[in-house]
Amino acid sequence: MECSTIIWKSGKDDLILTDRSVNITMAPRTTAQFEAIREKRREKIILAAMELFSRQTYHNTSVADISKQAGVSKGLIYNYFTTKEDILNGILDYLFAIGDQMVAETRAAGTPKEELRHLIGQVFRFLHQQALISRMLIPLALEMGKFDFINEVIDRKMRDYLGLLVQIFSDMDYPDPEMEAWTLGVLFDGISLDYNVLGDRMPLDRMEQYLYKKYNL
Amino acid sequence: MECSTIIWKSGKDDLILTDRSVNITMAPRTTAQFEAIREKRREKIILAAMELFSRQTYHNTSVADISKQAGVSKGLIYNYFTTKEDILNGILDYLFAIGDQMVAETRAAGTPKEELRHLIGQVFRFLHQQALISRMLIPLALEMGKFDFINEVIDRKMRDYLGLLVQIFSDMDYPDPEMEAWTLGVLFDGISLDYNVLGDRMPLDRMEQYLYKKYNL
Amino acid sequence: MECSTIIWKSGKDDLILTDRSVNITMAPRTTAQFEAIREKRREKIILAAMELFSRQTYHNTSVADISKQAGVSKGLIYNYFTTKEDILNGILDYLFAIGDQMVAETRAAGTPKEELRHLIGQVFRFLHQQALISRMLIPLALEMGKFDFINEVIDRKMRDYLGLLVQIFSDMDYPDPEMEAWTLGVLFDGISLDYNVLGDRMPLDRMEQYLYKKYNL
Amino acid sequence: MECSTIIWKSGKDDLILTDRSVNITMAPRTTAQFEAIREKRREKIILAAMELFSRQTYHNTSVADISKQAGVSKGLIYNYFTTKEDILNGILDYLFAIGDQMVAETRAAGTPKEELRHLIGQVFRFLHQQALISRMLIPLALEMGKFDFINEVIDRKMRDYLGLLVQIFSDMDYPDPEMEAWTLGVLFDGISLDYNVLGDRMPLDRMEQYLYKKYNL
DNA sequence: GATGAATGAGGGTTCATTCAT
DNA sequence: AATGAATGAACCCTCATTCAT
């Protein structure tokens, strides 16, 4: 059995995604093999959509654009997703893994201080990538009514993150760990947002160093 | 002879008081009368658009929606604005005054500490309003290329704010006033964004108090 | 009683139009005076429309444009004309006089040869002006169905012209005066059309001289 | 197993023969099949547009009209043409071939006299077609500014024609072949224009014979 | 008579989605 | 499974015309 990893090149940065690839056998295709082929196509479409959504916004990307980018026909997309919105859903599932992984890595970092430093480092290190994701999600999150599922996703992620931060600040004996966690969490969101809008006019490196200093890391 | 009448005009919640005290000869309206009508209608359209843009996003609001909300015909909107985008511009002008006033008020608050406390207080006090603005502008700001004027607006506002904050922290003898200013500015943006998404699930009051404590205000 | 003549300046060329101006008296306005005022306004609108139609085409000129050019309100135009199309009608009446005048002048030129030379000279002399008129009328004449009245106008003018030419060529003892008349009439139309399209790329002067030579004038 | 069916599709006067002889497995159409469909539809749309443009003018023909005439949906037209203007372009390409062929045929006619006779004959023979083209192009050519490509087309065609005529008259030893060429070219345009407006009231046949006589053909 | 605010039908264009093949 | 032609609703915008004043 072979297990390979694909890296999604987004021009400037890269997103690491695991590809649950399957055995190749000579036997007539089993249901499982069909499933695997389907899964691969699905992934292709998702990656194409992710690339485009983060570059041009969900609304400015047409299904035709996605099909072109993915190298499949427009019709085929509706064989894998019921709706354009459903593609978005697929992307979210994809991204979940990454977030979870970040949290898990942080949790394994050692002392609370090391954890915090690791977390801040990760945020800045993956900022470009996060910015792409934000560019995709923020506008949709702000459209209330439609896209309720996005808010659920954000909620859940927020809780995860907050939980981790609260625990860290608690371990570091902050007097009000919950509010400190909120403050830092909100700050991360602000950084992500502003980086999207301002780009390199933001002094990212200096902000990172400043945070380390503030938290004595 | 003079007679005045109240006319109930279909709409949602508005009474149009039409003063019919006119010459028997049916003289045309004076320029001043026309000006008044225009001003009223313009504002009505702007308020309608602001309401809808902040509720449903600029892109998800059609000109027809705005016309319905404002209780006027679709065509009339183009009598007041050259373009859907121009409506947005009108809204920005409308909101600018408020922002400028906030900065001005803060500048008159007294000692640096009082200024900072005043500023933070204002941000939280007007968060609802700021959230409305954010919900309108952020998605557009994230669409690079189009809507360049929005980025200019944001840039300018950012510089104003940052300048004020740098001066305050400088006066308060912070070692790195510039970075502290960035941190707080970015935090405000994060708060505004998250409030949009999370609404009342955010512990706003506690965050406000927490900030006062952190800055010893 | 006073009689004045106004000249319609169309930038490059001018159209001579007679203004049946009226006595100014101190007596309360008689019906005739009101008529005169109306006539003047009407003329203003017609001149404005003529200017715009010939510059920008009938379809590319809005009633708002005309009202602006004429310096009156949009509404007032409908006090003088039932319809945008009706304005066109008014213009045609206006132009008729000129055509009739040209024919009359030619008829008074003397010998047939002098008449023909006079007519050709007039065509080239007024070509720019005619081109403006053509630009107005040709597109409308080609829209069959609507604007039937334009075709009637053109028909009548054509018959007048042709009649004049037939008589001239008959007097000049051409073997087939009718066909020679058609040929020259059609040629004039072609010149007018091509001058519109080609502008100064057409060798107008040389063509005029060439015609004189061909007809031994 | 094979089965073929004739399907009557609503429209005015066309039968669509759909060959349903397909695999049971419903294989997707081959590229060649798609090409064929596209070519057919494209031509159908062009013919529909040509019909309407020449009957009612470009501006008075809506895309909806074209779609109705072609028996397709409005949206489909934009699958084949980027723009309403692009349809016009398509028509021009379609017609260009014919014009070029006319010139080529004339060039192969033999002696200069035979060439000229051939050319005049062609102009009158194809007058109906030329009239259609004129009715489409003239109004657009007269709208300066927009539709520049139309003027380029006309220019090019004019140069072609003129060049051919100059050479013929030169070979026929006319003293001023260039001006004679202009005169005849302009006459052709006048004929085409007037035929549009006057229709059968023009004595076409007699004019043709008259031209032969004038040029001793 | 005179104004310009107001209307509403229609124009060109886009795009998510369906469907015959 | 796979294609892309085809649809139709919606979008932004224009403009001749009406109407209260």
> Which among B60, B158, B187 is the nearest to A186, CB-wise?
B187
Q: Is the pLDDT of residue D47 over 90?
A: yes
Give the chain C residue nearest D196 (alpha carbons): C142
User: What does the mean pLDDT of chain B come to?
Assistant: 85
Antiparallel, parallel or unpaired: β C14-19 and C4-9? antiparallel
B186–chain A Cβ distance below 8 A for any pair: yes
Is A193 at the interface with chain B, CB within 8 A? yes
Whether the CB of A206 is below 8 Å from some CB of chain B: the reply is yes
The predicted model gives A172-184 an average pLDDT of: 97
The protein footprint on chain E, as nucleotides within 7 A of a CB, is 1-21
At position C159, the amino acid (one-letter code) is R
Q: Token pair for residue B214?
A: 């952190």
A149 token code pair: 């599922």
- Residue C65 confidence (pLDDT): 98
What is the tens place of the pLDDT at every residue in A90-113? 998 888 777 788 788 888 878 999
Give residue B94's Cα distance to chain centre. 6
- By CB neighbour count within 10 A (0-12 exposed, 13-18 middle, 19+ buried), where does C10 fall? middle
D139 touches chain C (CB under 8 A): yes
Residue of C nearest to D179 (CA): C207
Partner A contacted by B11 (CB < 8 A):
no
pLDDT higher than 70, residue B190 = yes
Taken as a whole, chain C contains a residue count of 217
Q: Find the Å distance, CA of residue D96 to C1' of nucleotide E17.
A: 38
**Subunit contact B138:A141, Cβ cutoff 8 A:** no
Q: How confident is the model at residue D105 (pLDDT cuts 50, 70, 90)?
A: confident
Mean local confidence (pLDDT), A40-45: 94
DSSP state of B200: G
pLDDT band at A11 (very low <50, low <70, confident <90, very high): very low
In angstroms, the Cα distances linking B204 to A191, B127, B128, B211, C48 are 19, 9, 11, 11, 64
Chain A closest CA to B179's CA: distance in Å? 7
Q: Which residues contact A135 (CB under 8 A, 6 or more apart)?
A: A54, A55, A57, A196, B142
Chain B interface, best mutation among A166, A174, A193, by max B CB count within 10 A: A193
- Neighbouring C-beta atoms of residue D205, cutoff 10 Å: 9
Share of chain A above pLDDT 70, in %: 87
Q: How does pLDDT run across A45-61, given as a tens digit for each residue?
A: 999 999 999 989 999 99
Domain ranges of chain A: 83-214
Residue with the larger pLDDT of the pair B130 and A3 = B130
Does A have 3 or more CB contacts under 8 Å with C? no
Q: Report chain B residues whose CB lies below 8 A from the CB of A144.
A: 55-56
CA of A87, C1' of F9: distance in angstroms: 22
CA dihedral of residues B178, B182, B188, B190 (deg, nearest 10)? -170
Q: What mean pLDDT comes out for the span A62-77?
A: 97
Are D187 and C187 an interchain contact pair (Cβ–Cβ within 8 Å)? Answer: yes
A17 sits in which H/E element: strand A14-19
pLDDT band at C27 (very low <50, low <70, confident <90, very high): low
CATH of domain B83-214: 1.10.357.10
Written as one letter, the residue type at B121 is: G
- With contact defined as 3+ CB pairs under 8 Å, the chains touching D are C
As given in the structure block, the two tokens for residue D108 are 């192969």
**Which residues make Cβ contacts (< 8 Å) with residue C14, sequence separation at least 6?**
C7, C8, C129
Q: C147-189: per-residue pLDDT in tens?
A: 888 888 888 888 888 999 999 999 999 999 999 999 999 999 9
pLDDT value of residue C22: 40
CB contact at 8 A, C139 and C57: yes
Model confidence over B39-87: pLDDT tens digits?
A: 999 999 999 999 999 988 999 999 999 999 999 999 999 999 999 999 9
Q: Are the Cβ atoms of D141 and C207 closer than 8 angstroms?
A: no
Considering chain B, what percentage of its residues have pLDDT values greater than 70?
Answer: 88
Would you state the pLDDT for residue B1? 36
Among D56, D141, D207, beta carbon nearest to C197: D141
Q: What is the largest CA-CA distance in chain C?
A: 65
Mean pLDDT of B151-174: 91
Average pLDDT over residues A61-87: 97
How far is the alpha carbon of D1 from chain C, nearest alpha carbon, in Å?
54
The minimum CA-CA distance between D153 and chain C, rounded to whole Å, is 11
- Which of A146, A158, A183 comes nearest B187 by C-beta? A183
Would you place residue A27 in the very low, low, confident or very high pLDDT band (cuts 50, 70, 90)? Answer: low
Comparison of pLDDT for B6 and C120, the residue scoring more: C120
Residue A2 pLDDT: 31
> Closest-CA residue in chain C for D175?
C210
Per-residue confidence band for D6, with pLDDT thresholds at 50, 70 and 90: very low
Residue A46 three-state SS: helix
C1' of F6 to CA of C172 (Å): 67
Q: Is C62 on the interface with D (CB under 8 A)?
A: no
Collapsing DSSP to helix, strand or coil, B108 comes out as coil
pLDDT score, position D26? 65
Give pLDDT, residue A26: 52
Residue A70, class by beta-carbon neighbours within 10 Å (0-12 exposed, 13-18 middle, 19+ buried)? buried
Q: How far is the CA of B85 from the C1' of E2 (A)?
A: 34
Please tell me which residue, D69 or D133, carries the higher pLDDT value. D69
Share of chain D above pLDDT 90, in %: 57
Q: Which comes out higher in pLDDT, residue D41 or D135?
A: D41
Q: What is the mean pLDDT of residues B118-126?
A: 92
D194 inside 8 A of chain C by CB = yes
Q: Chain D contacts of C143, Cβ < 8 Å?
A: 56-57, 60, 139
pLDDT digits (tens, 9 = 90+) for D163-217: 999 999 999 999 999 999 999 999 999 999 999 989 899 999 999 999 999 999 9
Q: Is there a contact between B154 and A197 if contact means CB atoms under 8 Å apart?
A: yes
**Which is more confident, A1 or A96?**
A96
Mean pLDDT of A33-50: 91
From B177, which residue of chain A is nearest by alpha-carbon distance? A210
**Contacting residues of C for D191, CB less than 8 Å apart:** 186, 190
> What is the model's pLDDT at position C8?
34
Mean pLDDT over each residue of chain D, to the nearest integer: 85
Residues of A in contact with B130 (CB under 8 A): none
User: CB B84: neighbour CB atoms within 10 A?
Assistant: 16
Predicted local confidence at residue B21, as pLDDT: 42
Q: Residue D97: in which H helix or E strand, if any?
A: helix D84-107
Q: What's the confidence (pLDDT) of residue C76?
A: 97
Choose among A142, A145, A186: nearest Cβ to B135.
A142
Least CB-CB distance to D183: which of C145, C154, C187? C187
**Predicted pLDDT at D4:** 35
- At residue B6 the predicted structure's pLDDT band, cuts being 50, 70 and 90, is very low
Contacts of C187 in chain D (CB under 8 A): 183, 186-187, 190
Whether chains D and C touch (3+ CB pairs under 8 A) is answered by yes
Contact status of B62 with chain A (Cβ, < 8 Å) = no
Which residues in chain D touch residue C188, judged by CB atoms under 8 angstroms apart?
A: 190
